Structure 1
């Protein structure tokens, strides 16, 4: 049974959708996947969501793409104008998406919905030719952050847990981590509109978690006790001011005795999964397919 269809679930006091991409020839693997968008933006139709679902399901992995409840738009001005030369949504498109997004809510709603989606995926995996023990969890950008926070909740709940956590160009700490000299030099040539600054990141994070109170790492897993998390794949964009967070998180995982693989996509900027055909996007899709499908 291949194809796509939407299912309505409930979590965090709100209804939300998941879009199921059924594999025509299931390999037994399933991925619960979350798009990014600074917690405020994003749809199931954006390439960062839809392309991942279609490409991985064509290769045999069933994908559950989560249309989680977005945060309010209070941090919109902090992002500044988009890069006109990038193949990314325009300001007008973002505003249109924002108006169509429906009810909005801050932390912890989206994270609780990710847990609900993961539980649904485990419970229904066999219906779609997947093994309940081979359900992975992952996302890109803010979706990676939400995935990591949900994995922390699932670890602490001590019942079912993801087989793999896949994080693509993630921001996992509450704030921008300073780059090393090499990264700082690389970022000098990146268009300012393609970079997060300490100010814009702070505005986004306080929009999502206003009081910054996060004792368990459910909002920002970085800097917390990571022992007991599943195997992790981290894919960083080389030309991304958020890359230091992904790299620091990898070091924290290793120090906590969690198996972690870190890949850097050369020459890639943040959000490249939204650029269909981008070499880094193609390579990352291959990495995701191999990691999620592995037994």
Structure 2
């Protein structure tokens, strides 16, 4: 099965000097205040990660931040690089082994899609635990295929039914469209879980990047709307701040596959106006996070969003939330779904699975 994919393409180093982080919005304190460092953050990549980055460079994608959204969505991506490594090295990768995949539309919502990853031979009497999974893509690019590897790994390793949620993209659907419909998807899954053979009392939420933000926001909505709360939340390299002036957004400004100008480009297409930057759904570090279930935050060392994870962890802890934080060295943004090639991805997935199983009450 072709995986078309992971967020975020290779950004040419020359684009860093010319990219406008907020091209559609007024000047604001979210614009980086310091010059980007001359050193290459990706020099810190471990051998597995360096192999993926070399494959990505060979695919020659254009800098995302220089493109219109439609063209950006068609660029080769980090997941295409993974597929290239798998093919070149003749790796026997079987992401769907032991799983049955199916798609459906939100019956209550029209065109948005759910993709189900369930253990083979499960049926309506299986009473499976559930993982609601939100993909990344900066709310502008990517699709369910892009993050197929992550959803597949979670299903294989937990034995749960993983439901990967589609959501509307900006700029066609600006903030808060994705946030609102993520919550509606969660409600829809709760409503129908028993009929599908799943256990709605054992439900976890996992998300990557923009989806890591949606995971926390959906848990907040469950608290505020008196819905069944998730038993665990795993937020992988989340977007947690609207500021581009954080330590990692300066230190890793030219990183690949995600760089700091790309973050500005995403926000410029997502936000309606400057005021949206301070909305606590985007600026999670200003949100009321009290009363959330246990949250695990996973970060990559070579990632402009690393500081977002740090700040989110501090905000969660200050709110009294049971919080676990894990940083993986030598890897970049998007590494979590690269388990076929990157050893640290397997480690991170196993750690996430352990945290989720604790929530399910099934141990490690």
Do they fold alike, i.e. is TM over 0.5? yes
- Partner of residue 265 from structure 2, selected from 184, 192, 203: 203
- 1:127 Cα deviation after fit: 4.0
Change (3 A) 1:32 1:179: same
- 1:184 Cα deviation after fit: 6.6
The yes-or-no answer on 1:221 pairing with 2:284 is: yes
Q: Give the structure 2 partner of residue 22 of structure 1.
A: 118
Change (3 A) 1:157 1:4: same
Matches of 1:107 and 1:224 in 2, distance apart?
A: 16
Relative to the length of structure 1, the TM-score reads 0.77
The yes-or-no answer on 1:37 pairing with 2:140 is: no
Q: Give the structure 1 partner of residue 103 of structure 2.
A: 6
> Once the two structures are superposed, what CA deviation does each residue of 1:123-151 show, in whole Å capped at 9, x if it has no partner?
23334543212111121111111222222
- 1:206 Cα deviation after fit: 3.3
Contact 2:335–2:345 under 8 Å retained in 1 = yes
Q: Identify unmatched segments of 5+ residues in structure 1.
A: 73-103
Asked which structure has the greater CA Rg, the reply is 2
SS in 2 for 1:160: coil
> Once the two structures are superposed, what CA deviation does each residue of 1:249-290 show, in whole Å capped at 9, x if it has no partner?
100100000111000011111111343421222112212222
The yes-or-no answer on 1:66 pairing with 2:66 is: no
Q: Give the structure 1 partner of residue 187 of structure 2.
A: 119
The yes-or-no answer on 1:137 pairing with 2:234 is: no
The yes-or-no answer on 1:55 pairing with 2:157 is: no
Contact 2:258–2:303 under 8 Å retained in 1 = yes
SS in 2 for 1:218: coil
Report the number of matched residues: 255
State how 1:263-282 maps to structure 2 within 5 Å. Answer: 263-275=326-338, 276-282=340-346
Change (3 A) 1:3 1:265: same
Structure 1 stretches of 4+ moved >6 Å: none
SS in 1 for 2:116: strand
Q: Identify unmatched segments of 5+ residues in structure 2.
A: 1-97
Change (3 A) 1:148 1:42: same
